[in-house]
Structures are given as C-alpha cells and as structure tokens.
Amino acid sequence: MKIVEQIKQPITYEMELFEQKFQLSMSSKVALLNRITHYIVNRKGKQMRPMFVFLVSKMVSNGEVSERTYRGASVIELIHTATLVHDDVVDESNRRRGFFSINALWKNKIAVLVGDYLLSKGLLLSIDNNDFDLLKIISIAVREMSEGELLQIEKARKLDITEEVYYEIIRQKTATLIAACCCLGAASVKPESSDVENMRKFGELIGMAFQIKDDLFDYGKEQIGKPTGIDIKEQKMTLPLIHVLNNASKKDKKWLINSIKNHNKDQKRVKEVIAFVKANGGLDYAVTKMKEFQVDALNILQKYPESDYRNSLELMVNYVIDRKK
C-alpha cells in the first residue's frame, strides 16, 4: 500500500464526504466559474491539508469530527487553492502538478478573479456559520504567507540573509499553513483547549521540516518536476547555501555572492555553486536541522494516547522527511 493511502486509512470516510462538501462549497451561478472549479477539483493533489485537519481532530477527541471540522477543511483548501492560482499568475507558470494551470487555459485576468472568488468563498463559509475562531486562524495564516513571500523577495535583492531570517521566511511562507490545518483540526472539536496551541506548534514544526526537505531537492539528482539549481537561478537563499555562506572565507563568500547575483543563469556556474555547497557540508547541516524539527514534532504527538490517528500523523511526519518528491 502506498504511504499516502496508509496515512489516509483511518479517515477514508471523512475524506470521501469532504470531497462532496468541498465541491459544493465552490459552486456558483456563473457557468464559466463552475467549469473552472470543476477543472480544479478533478486535478487535486494528495490533499495533505484536509488530511491533517481530520487526523488531528480525531486524535485529540477520541475519534470525533463535527460539521465544523468539514468546514475548516473546506476553508483551508479553498484558501490554499486560491493562493496557488494567484502564485501561478505571479510566477507566469503554465503547469501545476503536470496539468495546465488556470492562467495557461483561461488567461491571467480570469485566474486572478477565480483566486479572489475562492478566497471570498472560504471567508463566507466561516462567517455564514459563525466559525469566527476558525476564520481567525485562517486569516492569520494568509497574512503570514503574504509577509513571508515579501520578506523573501526583499532578502533576495540584498542576499543578506541569516539563518534566523531564513527560518522566519519558511515559518511564514510554508509552515504557517500546515500549522493552521492542525490548529483548525483541534479547534473544530475542542475550541479553547490547550490542544489548539499544541497542534499549531506541531504543524509548524512539520512545515519547517517540509520546506527544508524541499530546499534539499534543489541539490539532488531526483526528478521532482523542479530542475536542479532552480532556487539558485531565482536567487532564493536556502539553508544549505546560507550555512556555507556564513562559514566561508572572505574570498569564497565573494565568489558565491557574485555567482548568485550575476551568474545565476550560467548553468556551469550554478553547477559549481551546487558542488561547493555539497563539499562544504551545506546539505549535511540542513539534513541535521530538518531532523531536529522532525523529532520535536514527534515528541508533541507522544503526549497523546496511542491511536490509529496518532500513528497516521507519525507516518505523515516521517513521510515529509523521506519523500522523494
């Protein structure tokens, strides 16, 4: 059995019902919108985010979920999808998970409007049901994701990034959404309990490990749909590079910064930078840090009694570290 299927097993029923509710939450009176949202729904990914919501909800409440849990999962998926649609416009990307992106098929103007529509649908789903606590969790996540992206752009211009700033960027950009999923799962069944903050922290730790793993792919040979060295070409400062930069001699540091600023489109030079980072322990250091986040996340889970849901979440944490793409 595939690892993702194994993780999903204790929540198979919830995930099937969620799909129906999620499709309904997107519906509109405009035929064009329905055509586009139908296209989105039929090209879904692994659906890790709703899985986090349901697994956490069931783990903290001895197997309970509520209508609020389904709404929370729908809202997070609506808002996440909206950000992806907008990202593809910003990045001028024509593909998403191997399929044409919305902007490639329907052009930028429609893609931006669809993203706005999904965002408003998510907000209204919470407001119409008085889920103001869930809405707050999600709104904070959206704000932080925007701040993280802008902080990364600001730092890419100057290349003056420290390890602390890098962690802040990935916490906001990536970890905050996974933290929101776990936080929502707990808040949907046990609002105002200590589980809400525990699970937020748990999600944040997984998110940090997830992003470091993603950054490591930039140095690997595995085919993950992202060509090696793309972060360097885009002047994105990731942990392996930051570590090596901060520990390099003055001469090497100058060469590295010059390579990233002025020769980032030169394939030979990018390969030399990758080789330098590998040779100087950048990857080993990033793997060590990633595993620290993994251990901290697993330690939080140990506070809960053993169950199928906890086991699935443990599998999820390990999958984040061991995945090949």
Task: Kindly report, residue by residue over 264-277, the tens digit of the pLDDT.
Answer: 788 888 888 889 99
Kindly indicate the confidence band of residue 225, based on its pLDDT and cuts at 50, 70 and 90: very low
Kindly report the average pLDDT of the chain as a whole number. 87
**Four-residue CA torsion sign, 87, 161, 168, 219:** positive
Long-range CB contacts (< 8 A, 24+ apart) of 291-300?
Answer: 291/209, 291/321, 293/205, 293/206, 293/208, 293/209, 293/212, 294/205, 294/206, 294/209, 294/318, 294/320, 294/321, 296/205, 297/202, 297/205, 297/206, 297/209, 300/198, 300/199, 300/201, 300/202, 300/205
Asked if the model's pLDDT at residue 293 lies above 50, the reply is yes
Asked if the model's pLDDT at residue 4 lies above 70, the reply is yes
The 10s digit of each residue's pLDDT in 68-121 is 999 999 999 888 888 887 777 777 777 776 677 788 778 888 888 888 888 898
The 10s digit of each residue's pLDDT in 193-224 is 999 999 999 999 999 999 999 888 888 755 44
Kindly indicate the confidence band of residue 295, based on its pLDDT and cuts at 50, 70 and 90: very high
Number of neighbouring beta carbons within 10 Å of residue 84: 18
Q: Which of 98, 102, 70 is nearest to 85 (CA)?
A: 102
pLDDT above 70 covers what percent of the chain? Answer: 95
Q: What is the pLDDT of residue 325?
A: 67
Helix pair 163-170, 239-247: axis angle to 10 deg: 170
Q: What is the pLDDT of residue 48?
A: 87
The span from the CA of 315 to the CA of 37, in Å, is: 31
> What average pLDDT score do residues 300-312 get?
94
Domain spans in the chain, listed from the N-terminal domain onward? 3-322
The span from the CA of 78 to the CA of 5, in Å, is: 23
Number of neighbouring beta carbons within 10 Å of residue 228: 18
Q: What is the pLDDT of residue 221?
A: 58
The span from the CA of 268 to the CA of 264, in Å, is: 10
Q: What is the pLDDT of residue 312?
A: 94
**Whole-number Cα distances in Å, 314 to 13, 35, 206, 302, 303:** 20, 38, 10, 10, 12
Domain 3-322 belongs to what topology?
Farnesyl Diphosphate Synthase (1.10.600)
Side chain identity, residue 282: G
Contact 161, 242 (CB under 8 A): yes
Kindly indicate the confidence band of residue 187, based on its pLDDT and cuts at 50, 70 and 90: very high
96: which strand partners? 99
Top mean-pLDDT range of 54-58, 138-142, 191-195, 269-273: 54-58
Q: What is the pLDDT of residue 307?
A: 94
